[in-house]
Structure 1
Amino acid sequence: MSDPHILLSGEALALAMPRQDMLPKYHAWENDPGTISGYGNQWAQSWEVRAAGYERQRGNERFQQFEVVRLDDGTPVGMTILEVNTYVRTAEFVMVLAPEERGKGYAAEAARLTLDWAFHLAHLRMVWLKVLEPNAAGASAYEKAGFRPGGRLRRSGYWLGKPVDELLMDAVPEDFPGTSAVATALGS
């Protein structure tokens, strides 16, 4: 495995460039039953589809991917993605954590670092996400990162085979909590 190329460091985590040699691990995380359930999917994705998707995505400026790396040992713990709408300067936020890294408090810091990048480097006006209503831990982590409740899509998702509401959350630069890692890195 290649060494991570760190882009932005936080307290315990960093955002790094995605690595092609990590694609099998990303694929395994995305096909974990907990990930599939959390996204409300019903099907796993084949290796061929994922590998082809990586090739299409890596040169796409509208699909910004970050590997989330633990700073103390360089271990990758997840991915965050900004699906950018360049016309209106907004993005949808998506995150997946490695199954063995869930429940360790990484979601809030990974989301916050991604918002920091989105607002202070990409100059986006707003970032939004959808989270299934039963995923209270996810919603709480997103709120800690700076997202605010924005609405709901009734019965638009599935949780353990049952229709559930998806909660919409959004963040604007004014919602960004605390000190920016971007500003710190730039000495501002």
Structure 2
Amino acid sequence: MFVGEKVTLRGVTREDLPVLLSYYNDPEVDLAAGDLPSPTSMERLEKWYERLIEQQPMRRFAIEADGRFIGTCLLQDIDETAGHAELGITIGDKDSWGRGYGRDAIRVLLDYAFRLANLRRVWLRTHAENGRAIRAYQAVGFVEEGRLREHQWLAGRYVDTVLMGILRSEFCDRRDRNPTGATRAPRQSR
């Protein structure tokens, strides 16, 4: 477990699946992430979970806040030679949107990526209409590195895909400049 100011990152458990199913079947959550809404079944989710637990090491985390499972985050497409990975995050619990949980989860995941996994760069993509997410990414130090114009179909129109990235040196500089603030390194729980 990895503990931040507001959230704890832990492994995804079988007990999380019913809540995760409700997130995956919520069109508003899918659209916020830029995904095409498509219903899923518990059987499909259980098969996904079985594949997930076979992965070693697991780099997908449940996000817990105030004792509740509110979403997931992950590092994917890890290139150990080049030292980079793609970050993904979904806060599925809409009551938790806008409360800083996503920002804190991103900080904790970046600390894991840079300090423990020895990555040097983390990148992500989001759609240009996702202002809340873009502000959260910028708040922890991500910068826009590129834009794919009219790259995604989102709820009846084409929107840009924004590519953002952060280097280990940038993350560490921000954390070191603000040791009492939001970019402080998270605690690892035992």
State the TM bucket, normalised to the shorter chain: 0.7 to 0.9
CA distance in 1, matches of 2:30, 2:24: 7
Task: Summarize deviations over 1:85-138 as a string: whole Å, max 9, x none.
Answer: 334331111111022211212111111111111101111121111111011111
Shift of 1:30: 2.5
Is 1:110 the equivalent of 2:105?
Answer: yes
> After alignment, is 10-19 or 45-54 more displaced?
45-54
2:8 to 11, 14, 18: 14
The match for 2:158 is 163
Q: Distance in 2 between matches of 1:114 and 1:146?
A: 13
Counterpart for residue 181 of structure 1: 185
Contact 1:30 1:96 (8 Å CA) reproduced: no
The offset of 1:43, in angstroms, is 3.4
Shift of 1:146: 2.1
Corresponding residue of 2:143? 148
The alpha-carbon distance between structure 1 residues 28 and 92, as it changes in their structure 2 partners (threshold 3 A), is same
Are the counterparts in 2 of residues 38 and 159 from structure 1 also a CA contact under 8 Å?
no
The TM-score with structure 2 as length reference comes to: 0.84
Aligned with residue 78 of structure 1, among 61, 65, 71: 71
Q: Counterpart of 1:41?
A: 35
Measured in 1, the distance between the counterparts of 2:83 and 2:53 equals: 20
Relative to structure 1, is the Cα distance of residues 32 and 45 closer, same or farther in structure 2, using a 3 angstrom cutoff? same
| Relative contact order higher in (CA < 8 Å, ≥ 6 apart) | 2
Q: What's 1:123 paired with? A: 118
Q: Hey, what does 2:47 align to over in structure 1?
A: 52
CA distance in 2 between counterparts of 1:93 and 1:63 reads 14
Distance 1:130 1:143 in 2: 13
Show CA shifts across 1:63-98 (max 9, x none).
61111111xx31122110110233433111111102
Is there any run of 5+ residues in structure 1 with no aligned partner, and where?
Answer: 1-6
Report the Cα distance in structure 1 between the residues aligned to 2:15 and 2:129, rounded to whole angstroms: 34
Q: Deviations over 1:23-45 (max 9, x none)?
A: 12112212321221123222324
Which residue in the other structure is 1:3 paired with? none
**Most deviating of 103-112 and 53-62:** 53-62
What residue in structure 2 maps to residue 89 of structure 1?
A: 83
Structure 2 unaligned segments of length 5 or more: list them.
Answer: none
TM-score (norm 1): 0.85
Percent sequence identity is: 29
Runs ≥4 residues deviating over 4 A: none
